Amino acid sequence: MEAHAKPAGGPILTKSSIVLFAFAAIGFFLIFLRFVLGLGVTTALSDGYPWGLWIAFDVVTGTAFACGGYAMALLVYIFNRGKYHPLIRPAILTSALGYTIAGLSVVIDVGRPWWVWKVPLYFWDWNLNSVLFEVAVCIMAYMIVLWIELSPAFFERWKESKWPALRKFAQAVSPILDKALVWIVALGLLLPTMHQSSLGSLMLLTGPRLHPLWSTPYLPAFFLLTCIAMGYAVVVFESSFSAVALKRKAETHLLLNLGKLAAAGGVIFVVLRFIDLAARGRLGLVFQSDFHAVFFWLETILFVLPLAFTIGRRNLGSLFLGAITLALAGALYRFDTFLIAFSPGQGWHYFPSLTEQLITLGLISFEVAVYATLVKLFPILAGVSKPAPTNVPATSPAY
Amino acid sequence: METNRRDLLKGLAAAATLTAIPTAAIAREKRKAPADAVGLLYDSTKCIGCKACVVRCKEVNNLPADVTGYGEGLYDSPTSLNEYTKNIIQLYKDDHEQAYVKRQCMHCLDPACVSACMLGALQKREHGIVTWAANRCIGCRYCALACAFNVPKFQWSKRAPKLIKCELCSHRLAEGKQPGCAEVCPREAVIYGKYTDLLDEAHRRLQSEPDKYVQKVYGENDLGGTQMLYLSHIPFENLGFRFSGGEAVPALQQTVQHGVYKGFIAPVVLYAVLGAVMFRNRRSDKKDVEK
Amino acid sequence: MSASRIPEADLTIAEHMKRSGVSRRHFITFCGKLMAVAPFGLAITNGLTLEAVAAEIGKTRRPSVVWLHFQECTGCTETLLRTSEPDIADLIFNIISLDYHETVMAAAGRDAELALYDAMKANDGKFVCVVEGAIPTKQNGIFMKKAGKTGIDMLKQVTSRAAAVISIGSCASWGGIPSSGPNPTGATGVDQLVKDKPVINIPGCPPNPYVLLGTVLEFAGTGKPPALDAKGRPKFAFDRLIHDHCPRRAHFDAGRFAANFGDEGHRQGWCLYKLGCKGPATHAPCSTRHFNEVVDCWPIGVGHPCFGCAEQGVGYTIPLFDTVEITRPVPPDTYPPIIAEHGGISPLATGLGGLVGGAIVGAGVIASRKLSAVDTESESETKE
């Protein structure tokens, strides 16, 4: 296997990328409308449901999908599985883009975004008790960390750039970056551990309004566990997708293991969840024939199903299905925690408005289009021709 | 693989520490009312539903009319607290009886909204009144999500939205006046005063006319206690108070969060461990290559 | 009055009007007024047209009325005199036969006594005795004497020969102002003293004169009093609270109150509840039938809270500016409920959501198949 990543090349504007950019354009126009007309007119948010699609999906689920970088970094740098190394860069790219889109969604969602800069800077106003504060600052920091972690891919190309200024800049910064990178990566492991678990803690503040099937002191732990599993699932998804879309070979054997990790994570989560419910005497709720129990079982099934797709299979197709099933499971778990399990009282209803959905779609399309563009331009994807060695030689660049 | 068992043990150890944290957490102390706490005592049995308090609240707080309530353009007919309405009277009616209830911010002793607010725009200040400051609010609406009484209301209709909720007319208290609602009530169904005095009065009423009331002062011990106190002839659930008793709303989350992050020790330690592991891995890789 | 002045009892109102030269137009106008005062609840005004009602009333024999005065201010008589349609002359000569009335009769002294005796004899068992004023009962009723008889005696004597008794005004109905604490004379309403005859109470201080006229004519026309409530009050006038028909009710419902006389709210005509209006506790027709035949000529109409003059236990009992408890509050239909519905879900949005969801699942399945194909292809390639 080639140790070096290379730009995938190919035209930037293909049929699909044009479609994606078109959706993105619609999304951005609607974002402009949202700021002109206000949230009341453009969204279905209400006093009963102050948080909706943009928080539950774009931010909470979106960042969980963007945990590929985190999950891979754990595997490669903590558990020292060097053979997965080629999958790190694309995972980090997905993460960087995912977190950036999530950050953008936050700015679109909040009602008074002109004060957002005060959150990281006005330390004298910081409410250190606020979990949302911790999440916000952590995500801001992690976003920066991710782009820094990805930057070697840019510098590699810029080192050979025809513009001397850029070349000099790249050549000057690279060695500093190399040295500092261990500490950056450690940060890139610490920060998501903190905020992905805290995203779970967020809903605990709704106290008695959170349904007991989801409300547990272990909610942060569950969010963390599922986000790691989702990270692996998304790496499988994104690698398979790249393979087909960019007509490259997929590293099936590597992906198989990741798929198994994701599936295992799903099953462990379900087991732990049942134990937690039993320990707190809430198992009976699971067997009630109500709306919440239905969603609980849907989650459970989706978390367990990937096992069937990954154990004993060597087929990329079923692996891919297993991955998206796990990702869906994680997404549903988050949707449920933030929307379904939350009960504002009778008389309130929420379903995302057209504008909310189209903006989300536009942002996702943008993310995919930018991903495709960047992997074509920069050395992010590694090619595959034969099975990789078990260790990565230390003489190779850190990334 | 050689490091298989070790990795498994490492993973399990990490998981175990994570699970141990909530159990090792210290429970959140129950907050007491501040010494200068003020409040309102609302006696549903005295209320005649005249809505003078609703009108007065709008006047003294410069709130606009709400034409959205009944959806047919009925002038100023809010159906619940909303971005135009900081105080409202609602009616409970069934075949046997009816009762009115006044809803506004409860000025909790341990408010969920205060715990939620990132930059401390919502704070519990003089007299225990929970106030909102525009210059620190980014409009994230976490407070609206957190409040178990559905109180903080976001101005959905505005481009520069604020957060609307009763602040006990603190601007009037400064001038030595009463909150608008208490000042105008023709039956003294809602009265304003020192929290301790109001609590005493409430208990006095419960004792002197036991058949007239449900034997409970709502707000005394509910969701950690609130500075708005209620007396009623019918069960409080019927008046729309979904939750009774129990600990303060932020207790669960704060216990979990502080259990993990106390003194910020855990993140620092984790960072150090991660760094150490990565260094060690790098070194052992170098050794392998040298071999 | 000599015996010859007492008119024949057999003349109907129409015949008498004709004989007296009263124009039909006059009479019709009066009937119209009566219909407006009692649109329902009276058999005599239960006609579809003015002509029909006029015919009905015209057929009625003029009722003989003996009017007694006790502890009163004569306000109830005065209210009757404040009608212009019919005017006082019409009234006492053509509509009713007012055979004895101390205020308006010409006689005095012994002549008056004789007049009373003659009136009672001529219409024995058929006349209506209207009582104005409360009757003192303490110390055997010595606080009032007329022609040597105490009030109690006179009442009993006259009402024993009457067909029915109408207590006009709050004093006669339940004691009124003389009965206000400490009630040193033991002022009492008629129905506490007269138990053997039908007693109709028309409280008010004073009541609306058309209520009296309607009641008297109903009795004369049908032989029965109009439908009465538990306190003996005609339902057509006393079955509602002032509050229920108050023109300022909208202000009450919206929470707009005058706080002080002359303040902004008062000038705007807002509800007077906070100023002590007893409307919510008083049964009376004043909200819709005003006085002196002038619109808004009633307390609330001129900006003063109702003081409950017609209601026993309220008028002359609860202080003027004390707010009254509303014991039977009836909330308006459109009152904010505890649980309100807040908007629905846009079907278009749901549609799009479903579409996107379906597309994701579909795309996933297709992609999975494609990947399997690619994978098998590459595997077979490697094998080769």
A180-210: per-residue pLDDT in tens? 988 999 999 999 999 999 999 999 999 999 9
Per-residue pLDDT, C28: 83
Per-residue pLDDT, A397: 46
Q: Name which of B1-15, C96-110, C283-297, C330-344 the model is least confident about.
A: B1-15
Residue A20 maps to which CATH number?
1.20.1630.10
Partner-chain residue, chosen from C259, C329, C340, that has the shortest CB–CB distance to B49: C329
pTM over 0.90: no
Asked if the structure places residue A329 within a domain, the reply is yes
- Among candidates C348, C368, C374 on the partner chain, residue whose Cβ is nearest the Cβ of A243: C374
Bridge-based pairing of strands C187-188 and C135-136 is antiparallel
C290 and C277 assigned to the same domain? yes
pLDDT tens sequence across C58-83 = 888 788 899 999 999 999 999 888 77
Cα end-to-end distance, chain C, whole Å: 143
Confidence of residue B291 (pLDDT cuts 50, 70, 90): low
Q: Do C218 and C82 share a structural domain? A: yes
Does A1 contact C at CB distance below 8 Å?
no
Report CB contact under 8 Å: A47, B144.
yes
Band of the pLDDT at C315, cuts 50, 70, 90?
very high
Residue C362 resides in a domain: no
| Nearest chain A residue (CA) to C375 | A316
Closest chain C residue to A386 measured between Cα atoms?
C382
In a domain, C345, yes or no: no
Determine how β-strand C135-136 pairs with β-strand C149-150. unpaired
Residue at a domain's end among C286, C317, C332: C332
The more confident residue out of A394 and C89 is: C89
Angle, CA A219 vertex, CA A218 and CA A220 arms, to 5°: 90
pLDDT of the residue at A391: 44
Among C298, C314, C332, give the residue marking a domain's end.
C332
Instruction: Say which of B119, B157, B243 has its CB closest to residue A118.
Output: B119
Identify the sign of the CA torsion B118, B121, B124, B130. Answer: negative
| Interval C152-200: pLDDT, tens | 999 999 999 999 999 999 999 999 999 998 999 999 999 999 999 999 9
What average pLDDT score do residues B42-53 get? 92
Q: ipTM, 2 decimals?
A: 0.90
Q: Do residues C231 and C244 share a domain? A: no
Encode pLDDT of B227-243 as tens digits.
999 999 999 999 999 99
Q: What's the pLDDT at B23?
A: 44
Return the sign of the alpha-carbon dihedral for residues C137, C139, C141, C142: negative
B202 has a chain C CB within 8 A of its CB: no
CATH number, domain of C258, equals 4.10.480.10
Any domain includes A393: no
Decide the pairing of beta strands C64-69 and B228-231.
unpaired
Residue C7 pLDDT > 70: no
Residue C58 resides in a domain: yes
Question: Which pLDDT band holds residue C3 (cuts at 50, 70, 90)?
Answer: very low
The tally of domains found in chain A comes to: 1
Contact residues on chain C for B180, CB-CB shorter than 8 A = none
Domain limits at C135?
3-237
B78 touches chain C (CB under 8 A): yes
**DSSP letter at A282?**
-
Q: Domain extents for chain B?
A: 4-28+252-290, 38-249
pLDDT for position A388: 37
**Do B136 and A115 touch, CB atoms closer than 8 A?**
yes
Using CB atoms, pick whichever of C252, C329, C336 lies closest to residue B78: C336
B residues 14-73 lying closer than 8 A (beta carbon) to C: 48-56, 69-70
Q: Which residue has the higher pLDDT, B160 or A394?
A: B160
Task: Check residue A46 and give its pLDDT.
Answer: 93
Could B145 and A127 be called an inter-chain contact, meaning their C-beta atoms sit closer than 8 Å?
Answer: no
pLDDT, residue C172, reads 97
Q: What is the mean pLDDT of residues B170-191?
A: 93
Residue C323 lies in a domain: yes
Check whether residue C143 and residue C55 sit in a common domain: yes
Residue C360 falls inside a structural domain: no
Query: What would the mean pLDDT of B52-69 be, rounded to a whole number?
Result: 88
What pLDDT, on a 0 to 100 scale, did the predictor assign at position A198? 95
Instruction: Return all residues near B281 (Cβ < 8 A) that are at least 6 apart.
Output: A77, A78, A80
pLDDT reported for residue A1: 40
Residues C220 and C247 in one domain: no
Domain count, chain C: 2
In a domain, A397, yes or no: no
To which residue do tokens 């999975």 refer? C368
**Residue C205 sits in the same domain as residue C72:** yes
Give the pLDDT confidence score for residue A2 in this predicted structure: 45
When CB atoms are compared, the residue of A208, A219, A393 closest to B148 is A208
Residue A340 domain flag: yes
The yes-or-no verdict on residue B2 having pLDDT over 60 is no
Give B202-216 pLDDT, tens digit per residue. Answer: 999 999 999 999 999
Q: Is the pLDDT of residue C2 over 90?
A: no
Residue C16, pLDDT > 60, answer yes
Instruction: State chain B's mean pLDDT as an integer.
Output: 88
Domain presence at residue C50: yes
pLDDT of residue C104: 85
List the single residue in A with minimal CA-CA distance to B16. A221
- CATH number assigned to the domain comprising residue C136: 3.40.50.700
Domain B38-249 in CATH 3.40.1160.10? The answer is no
Which subunits have 3 or more CB–CB pairs within 8 Å of chain C? Answer: A, B
| C54 & C148 share domain | yes
Q: Is A203 left (phi over 0), alpha (psi -120 to 50) or beta?
A: alpha
Residue C365: pLDDT band (50, 70, 90) is confident
Q: Chunked in runs of 10, what are the mean pLDDT values of chain A (399 residues)?
A: 72 90 96 95 94 96 96 92 90 96 96 95 94 96 96 90 89 90 93 95 95 95 96 92 79 88 95 96 91 96 92 80 94 96 93 95 95 92 50 44
pLDDT in the model for residue A398: 45
Q: How far apart are CA C221 and CA C244, in angstroms?
A: 31
Residue C379 clears pLDDT 70, i.e. is over it: no
Nearest CA among A307, A242, A318 for reference residue A268: A307
- For residue A318, the chain C residues in CB contact (below 8 A) are 368, 372
